[in-house]
Amino acid sequence: MTILDEIADYARLRVEKQKEIKSIEAIRFEAAMFPKKDFAFEEALRKDELSFICECKKASPSKGIIAEQFPYLDIATDYEKAGADAISVLTEPKWFLGRDEYLSEISSAVNIPCLRKDFVVDEYMIHEAAVLGASAVLLICAILSEEEIKRYINICDGLGLSALVEAHDEEEVKKAINSGARIIGVNNRNLKDFSVDTENSKRLRALIPNDILFVSESGVKEPEDVKAIKDMGADAVLVGETLMRAADKSIKLKELKSLL
């Protein structure tokens, strides 16, 4: 069993526990009552310049604790002031030490769209994301079937949420395209063993039609990395650990943009 399998299994357990507290019917009703997000996440990525999705992340399975001090609201508002186009918020509690409260509080504190970064294994988590204030959810090809992705995108559409469909190899890119994804993220980190290959986005870019938004995720450390991602024709880049480890996140974000 890979780490990804363990995380997905734990997500299923989390959902079953949540259903005991609040039924699927109740969370559906609650989500339907929230104002629709009108696909704000997608709109944030549809600009001529490279868009930046900046991540609030306390820990990860591969690196352990990344931020001992985690003033998440300060981090999020600093990102927004520095020109982030969207914020990715980890809500997975065991391996990433995320919390739903991080998302609900950050989405209320900023005026840019937030992505719920979690391991969606049930439609419950999509409705939950809407209630928490997210504008987008992550759908990971490695843990979902093509039919599940199609169904989850349809649920997202009904709520005005965007779906960032994440792929790591050729087969997963095909699955994402066949599912009707409007945004495909290529993860340079292999979620099965957490190795990083920054050339992964470049290899897979040619397989993704230009009318689908393309996001390069993980492995960005220097301005040169960002420039290479822009040059390959990406619409957006997701940056996590590099920003989280920076003493001044605003300065680091400006530095990453310096060669664009």
Beta-ladder partners of 140: 166
Domain extent, residue 26, equals: 3-256
Count of domains observed in the chain: 1
Torsion of CA 61, 63, 65, 67, to 10 degrees: -120
24 is written with which tokens?
Answer: 């699927």
**Residue 198 banded pLDDT, cuts 50, 70, 90:** confident
* Residue 111 among the catalytic residues: no
Q: What is the pLDDT of residues 148-171, one digit of tens each?
A: 999 999 999 999 999 999 999 999
Q: What is the pLDDT of residues 213-228, one digit of tens each?
A: 999 998 899 999 999 9
* Residue 147 among the catalytic residues: no
* Residue 17 among the catalytic residues: no
Helix crossing, 24-33 with 123-131: angle to 10°? 40
The one catalytic residue among 42, 80, 128, 217: 217
The one catalytic residue among 42, 92, 128, 166: 166
The overall average pLDDT reported for the chain is: 95
CA pair distance 81, 107, nearest whole angstrom = 15
177 is written with which tokens?
Answer: 């395209």
**Residue 184 banded pLDDT, cuts 50, 70, 90:** very high
The one catalytic residue among 128, 179, 218, 241: 218
pLDDT at 258 over 90: yes
Average pLDDT on 66-93 reads 96
CATH number of the domain bearing residue 226: 3.20.20.70
* Residue 166 among the catalytic residues: yes
> In the chain, helix, strand, coil percent, each to 5?
45, 20, 35
* Residue 217 among the catalytic residues: yes
Q: What is the pLDDT of residues 111-132, one digit of tens each?
A: 999 999 999 999 999 999 999 9
Q: Which residues contact 123 (CB under 8 A, 6 or more apart)?
A: 24, 151, 152, 155
The one catalytic residue among 117, 175, 202, 230: 117
The one catalytic residue among 42, 51, 57, 58: 57
pTM of the model: 0.95
